[in-house]
């Protein structure tokens, strides 16, 4: 089994010495660099690069520059997607956004994690768990979404939250760790 196959199956894998994963990350970094260097008025160029970079785009999309991701092909967005400045998506596993998702500045979606055991971690091993964000979700500034989290439909995640566990649909959730404070 290749390291990429392990990564995509959620198993422990080594991304640091696998030539295929290294090449894919470098290609993605090149595309992110090209995207981030485009003039803000170059909407056609931005759309063209996003369609080349991301795995699936369901409709209108705008990601403000700068934007960074690891592979790109594991990112799927629905219709009417907007992300403000400094979006980071570590997409070793799928990251799926539904329709009408709005993301404020300085947010991160991190599918990658590392073993708690120092010996294993120091070998450079990691794992990736999918992140899913439902429809009609607003994510406030400086939100961090960790591996394996699902945020349901019609949710608001308050600024500065660290989302470590699933958030049920129809919730306003805030804090570190992020917790539901109100049903919508």
Phi and psi torsions of 52, nearest 5°: -80, -35
Instruction: Quote the tokens at residue 152.
Output: 């349901």
Residue 182, classified by CB atoms within 10 Å of its CB into exposed (0-12), middle (13-18) or buried (19+), is exposed
Quote the CA–CA distance of 133 and 123 in Å, as a whole number: 32
Among 104, 124, 103, smallest CA distance to 114 is for 124
List 114, 123, 129, 179, catalytic entry: 114
Helices (H), 54-110: none
Query: How far, in whole angstroms, is CA 150 from its chain's centroid?
Result: 12
Instruction: Quote the tokens at residue 114.
Output: 């590392």
Mark whether 142 is an active-site residue: no
Q: Which residues are catalytic?
A: 114
């Amino acid at each position: 089994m290749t390291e990429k196959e392990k990564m995509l199956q959620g198993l422990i894998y080594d991304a640091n010495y696998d030539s295929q994963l290294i090449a894919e990350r470098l290609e993605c970094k090149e595309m992110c660099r090209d995207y981030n260097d485009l003039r803000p008025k170059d909407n056609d160029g931005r759309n063209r690069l996003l369609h080349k970079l991301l795995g699936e785009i369901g409709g209108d999309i705008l990601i403000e520059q700068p934007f960074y991701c690891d592979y790109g092909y594991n990112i799927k967005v629905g219709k009417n997607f907007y992300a403000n400045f400094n979006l980071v998506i570590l997409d070793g596993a799928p990251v799926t956004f539904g329709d009408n998702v709005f993301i404020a500045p300085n947010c991160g979606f991190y599918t990658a994690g590392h073993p708690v055991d120092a010996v294993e971690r120091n070998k450079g091993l990691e794992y990736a768990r999918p992140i899913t964000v439902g429809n009609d979700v607003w994510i406030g500034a400086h939100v961090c979404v960790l591996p394996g989290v699902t945020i349901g439909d019609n949710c608001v995640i308050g600024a500065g939250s660290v989302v470590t566990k699933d958030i049920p649909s129809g919730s306003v959730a805030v804090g570190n760790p992020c917790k539901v404070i109100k049903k919508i």
